């Protein structure tokens, strides 16, 4: 694949970046978008970037909800974004946790942040220009995963996500 056919990507953490972190969120009825989140995704789309979500979902491993609940919430998010003219190119999540009470999810997985597996797998599946890509996260483990994947990591803690994304894209 030629370098010119590659596109930059924004890897969004989910809880604490796109939505308020309510702790083990899996229900659309409890989901609250972060200020400017839908506009931020639309800005990423219009700028020609891939938009990805990479999220740890240990609530599955802890037995709080099922993988099907995560998938249902992500479909709902996609519908909400589509209504605003935005889209996510791929949703990735890791349900595993090394101390999980549910045995099949009890493992130290390469996809669980701070490890870079979700990011690197997306970069293998899509023609991502890593030198122009970045991750937006709200925790140090998100930034660690970005560094391990060879991309920039940006810390988002508060404010309007669209304003944050606009500034981040202009930093290139």
Confidence of residue 170 (pLDDT cuts 50, 70, 90): confident
Q: Given this model, what pLDDT does residue 171 score?
A: 44
pLDDT of residue 96: 97
Rounded Cα distance, 110 and 127, in Å: 21
Active site residue 15: yes
Percent over 70 (pLDDT), the chain? 97
- Contact yes or no for 45/83 (Cβ under 8 A): no
pLDDT tens-digit profile of 38-89? Answer: 999 999 999 999 999 999 999 999 999 999 999 999 999 999 999 999 999 9
Catalytic, 13? Answer yes
* Binding-site entries: 13, 15, 94, 109, 138
Tell me, what's the pLDDT at 5?
87
Q: Would you place residue 3 in the very low, low, confident or very high pLDDT band (cuts 50, 70, 90)?
A: low
What pLDDT, in 10s, does the model give residues 112-139?
999 999 999 999 999 999 999 999 999 9
**Quick check: 4 pLDDT over 80?**
no
Known binding site for Zn(2+): residues? 94, 109
Check whether 172 has a pLDDT greater than 50: no
Which residues does the annotation place in the binding site for Mg(2+)?
Answer: 13, 15, 138
Q: Could you tell me which residues are beta bridge partners of residue 106?
A: 97
Q: Is 50 helix (H, G, I), strand (E, B) or coil?
A: strand
Q: Which of 15, 69, 71, 142 is catalytic?
A: 15
Looking at 1.10.150.120, 3.40.50.1000, 1.20.1440.230, 3.90.1150.10, the CATH number of the domain 3-132+144-166 comes to 3.40.50.1000
Torsion over CA: 133, 7, 120, 14 (sign): positive
Residue with tokens 């994947």: 149
How many whole angstroms separate alpha carbon 103 and alpha carbon 119? 25
Q: Is 124 exposed, middle or buried (0-12, 13-18, 19+ CB in 10 A)?
A: exposed
Q: Which neighbouring-strand residues pair with 92?
A: 54
Which residue, 125, 22, 111, is CA-closest to 61?
Answer: 111
The predicted pLDDT at position 94 comes to 98
Which tokens in the block code for residue 132? 């122009």
Calculate mean pLDDT across residues 137-165.
97
């Amino acid at each position: 694949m030629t370098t010119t056919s590659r596109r930059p990507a924004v890897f969004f953490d989910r809880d604490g970046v796109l939505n308020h972190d309510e702790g083990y969120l899996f229900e659309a009825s409890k989901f609250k978008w972060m200020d400017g989140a839908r506009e931020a995704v639309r800005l990423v789309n219009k700028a020609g970037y891939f938009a990805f979500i990479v999220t740890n979902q240990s609530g599955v491993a802890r037995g709080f909800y099922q993988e099907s609940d995560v998938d249902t919430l992500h479909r709902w998010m996609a519908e909400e974004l589509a209504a605003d003219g935005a889209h996510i190119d791929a949703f990735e999540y890791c349900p595993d946790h090394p101390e999980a009470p549910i045995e099949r999810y009890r493992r130290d997985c390469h996809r669980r942040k701070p490890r870079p597996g979700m990011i690197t797998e997306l970069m293998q599946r899509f023609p991502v220009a890593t030198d122009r890509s970045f991750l937006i996260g709200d925790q140090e483990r998100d930034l660690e995963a970005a560094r391990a994947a060879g991309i920039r990591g940006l810390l988002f803690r508060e404010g309007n996500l669209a304003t944050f994304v606009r500034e981040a894209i202009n930093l290139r």
